Amino acid sequence: DGGITQSPKYLFRKEGQNVTLSCEQNLNHDAMYWYRQDPGQGLRLIYYSQIVNDFQKGDIAEGYSVSREKKESFPLTVTSAQKNPTAFYLCASSVGLAVYNEQFFGPGTRLTVL
Amino acid sequence: GDSVTQMEGPVTLSEEAFLTINCTYTATGYPSLFWYVQYPGEGLQLLLKATKADDKGSNKGFEATYRKETTSFHLEKGSVQVSDSAVYFCASGSGNTGKLIFGQGTTLQVKP
């Protein structure tokens, strides 16, 4: 079955540590996205990528970094510079960047900073 | 900047009741509009969409009509089921960045 996988489902981090969230898709989609979801709020875009080796900052990129070395993979690193990293992180992909293309979401990773 | 506003929840209904979740948007130009649903512990799934004024999106008994004159995209369903209990997000998007602007989400709880 085609889809998006995110791992781990739950992640705990000590303050001052970097942590990397995995996102893999086998839908052959060109575009991939990372969103952050906080309780009672909508999703906010962190980074997005249209093609391999290219990515753009979203609305809340500070304290995060990404890479896109393979079409199917778009890992997100939450760095120690991110002041409030505890949140639910969602990865998505779509055929292309045009907004009418449906974005397919993974199941998410819940990050908690201890 | 662009924004999306949804009615605050939670919304609690009995099974077979009529559902309306209000959504209004502000945008330059004419965005595409979406409703996504999130079941507990899961990612979002696209429920329906409309790409131009007066379009009606529909899926699984849910409907929403793109109203340019009132900048609205209200979600409706004639008869809800317990399995519809979830968080519903309204979103707008335009241009070629794939960027979606999400509302804050509305929690729906349907009781038997």
A55 touches chain B (CB under 8 A): no
| pLDDT, mean of residues A28-32 | 94
* Mutant choice from B39, B51, B99, B106 vs A, greatest count of A C-beta within 10 A: B99
User: Is it the case that residue A40 has pLDDT exceeding 90?
Assistant: no
How high is the pLDDT of residue A1? 63
B20-59 residue pLDDT tens: 999 999 988 889 999 999 998 888 999 999 999 999 999 9
A61 touches chain B (CB under 8 A): no
Residues in contact with A30: Cβ distance below 8 Å, sequence separation at least 6, in sequence order:
A50, A51, A71, A94, A95, A96, A97
Helix (H, G, I), strand (E, B), or coil: what is residue A52? coil
- Neighboring chain A residues of B93 at a CB cutoff of 8 Å: 99-100
| pLDDT, mean of residues A59-76 | 96
How high is the pLDDT of residue B99? 83
- Judged by CB atoms closer than 8 Å, whether chains meet at A42 and B105 is answered as yes
A95 touches chain B (CB under 8 A): no
B68-107 residue pLDDT tens: 999 999 999 999 999 999 999 999 987 777 788 999 999 9
